[in-house]
Amino acid sequence: MRKPQFEALLRSASEVSGETEFIVVGSQAIHAYTDKAPVEVLVSKECDLWAKAKEEKLSCLEGVLDARSPYFTEHGVYADPVSPGLVLLPLGWEERLRAFQSGPVTAWCLEVNDLVVSKLNAGRLKDYEFINAVLRARLASFDEVVRRIETFPDLHQRSVLLARLRIASESMP
């Protein structure tokens, strides 16, 4: 998803939901940090988000802006309304959000190292590819991601996330 598509989708999500502030928890958050998003962001068709004020899933977007919607058929991108409880984030993530403004809509985008931690938890192939790309582009820092992982109290969870980080970064120079 290119930045203009991201902006148009945010405005459409606002029109459908009546919300003007969203939290973006997927790869599209990168648009708040660079104008040169890695190809792994550009090929992604979905934008994972929830309503900031309510911190809840935007069920009203289902069927209107999701992967089964006419919006996706016409524009090739879609909103994926996620439940906040499904996203694993390190302590202090709220203070590190970055605002991305598109007209009257504000998308509060995860800080890139926090986003990497979340993607490590998801652990899909596309997540590993994304993580590798943002590390190679120096949009995220391996050492900072490790520090964020070490804030989790569960030692097993930490071990899993650290192992996944090593896997995702294996092909880096």
- Name the pTM for this structure: 0.92
Give the side-chain half-sphere CA count within 13 A for 98.
Answer: 14
- 89 sits in the region (left: phi over 0; alpha: psi -120 to 50; else beta) called beta
Q: What is the mean pLDDT of residues 74-90?
A: 93
pLDDT band at 54 (very low <50, low <70, confident <90, very high): confident
